Amino acid sequence: MLTELVRPRQFLLLGGTVLVIFGLAGVVGLLGSISQASLFNPPYWINWFHLTFGIVVLAIAFAGGRTLQSAMTLAAGGWGARSASQVCFSGPMPRSVTTCRSLQTRPITIPI
């Protein structure tokens, strides 16, 4: 996970910058001009939320104390993607299981 590879300040600088870029692109209409897909045309308030939250994250990265930076990074670590074994199973994965329980598959059999 990215939060384990970089320092909290670097993580917040990267995340805040990405949020500000996407927020500004959405506010000025650049994202909507890329495509008509709903991914690029979210509700208008979402763009302002990304912009505002990105500015707050950058402010914490520059002026926040180490404790606050670490707390923000730890909170972000909980939002990250999990591995397939963590999502599919609550316990240890048996050696014989290779697929997620919610994605049951049957072996393909071809009659000869």
User: Burial, 108: exposed, middle or buried (Cβ in 10 Å; 0-12, 13-18, 19+)?
Assistant: exposed
> Which tens digit of pLDDT belongs to each residue from 3-40?
577 788 898 999 999 999 999 998 998 887 877 777 77
Angle (CA) 46 50 51, round 5°: 115
Residues in contact with 56: Cβ distance below 8 Å, sequence separation at least 6, in sequence order: 16
> Which tens digit of pLDDT belongs to each residue from 42-74?
888 999 999 999 999 999 999 988 888 888 887
pLDDT tier at 79, thresholds 50, 70, 90: low
Angle (CA) 102 108 109, round 5°: 145
Q: What residues does each domain of the chain span?
A: 7-79
